[in-house]
Amino acid sequence: MKQRYKEVLLALSLVLLSGCGQPVPNMGNDSSNINNADTISIDEERYNGSNGSNGLDGNSGMYNSSADGFQSLYFDFDSYSITPDMERVIAKDAAVAQKSGDRKIKIEGNCDEFGTDEYNYALGLKRAKAVKDMLAMQGVPSSRMVMVSYGESNPACTVQSDACYAQNRRVDLRLAR
C-alpha cells in the first residue's frame, strides 16, 4: 500500500511540476514592454556615418557603445580573458575614471546570442568582473565601480554575421547617473 501511495505521489508531483513553465514574453520592437531605467539609448547619428564618424573606435576597429569618454572592451568567443590590447584600452578608461571625480562607474557585461540566457548572464558578469579588477589595478577604487550583466539582451548589432556577433561580446563603461 505504501509503495502505491509513493507512486501516486510521484506521478502527481511530475504532473504539477511540468505545468509550471511559462512562455518567454516576446519583447519585439514594442518599447512599451521595456523598463526604461534598464535600457541604454545610443545616439544613432553618431554611429551611422552622417557626421563623418563610422561608430568605430580608432584602436580596434570595433563599434564603441560606451559613453562619457570610455571605450568599449571586446572579448573573444566564450572568453572573459583580458588581452594586451585590452590592457591599453583599460589604461585609457582608468584615466577617464580618475578625471570623473567620485562618480560611480557602471561596468556592463554583454554577450552574443549563443548560449543559454543563464550562461550568457554569467559570462557577462565574468567579463565585467575582469574589467573591474583591471581598473582597480590601475588605481580606480572598487567602491566606485558597479557591475551589471545584460547577457545577450543588449546587442550593439543584430545582423547575423561574425563581425556583428563580435561587437556584442563586450564590456561598456558609463558614469552612473
Residue 63 — very low, low, confident or very high, per pLDDT cuts 50/70/90? low
Q: Which three cell numbers mark 177?
A: 547617473
Give me the amino acid identity at 171. V
3-state secondary structure 115-155: CCHHHHHHHHHHHHHHHHHHHHHCCCCHHHEEEEEEECCCC
3-class DSSP state of 56: strand
- pLDDT, average across residues 28-38: 38
| pLDDT score, position 11 | 66
Q: Is the pLDDT of residue 116 over 80?
A: yes
SS3 content of the chain, % helix, strand, coil (to 5): 40, 15, 45
- Best CA proximity match to 132, nearest among 99, 168, 105: 105
| pLDDT score, position 41 | 38
Burial (Cβ within 10 Å: 0-12, 13-18, ≥19) of residue 109: buried
| pLDDT score, position 135 | 95
- pLDDT, average across residues 165-175: 93
| pLDDT score, position 24 | 41
3-class DSSP state of 108: strand
- Best CA proximity match to 127, nearest among 65, 82, 177, 176: 82
| pLDDT score, position 38 | 39
Q: What CATH number does domain 63-177 carry, 3.90.650.10, 3.40.50.11540, 3.30.450.40, 3.30.1330.60?
A: 3.30.1330.60
Range of weakest confidence among 9-13, 76-80, 84-88: 9-13
Q: Enter the pTM of the model.
A: 0.64
Q: Please give the Cα distance from 141 to 98 (Å, whole number).
A: 9
Q: Is the pLDDT of residue 161 over 70?
A: yes
- pLDDT, average across residues 117-121: 94
Digit-coded pLDDT (tens) for 134-160: 999 999 999 999 999 999 998 988 899
Does residue 2 or residue 32 have the better pLDDT? 2
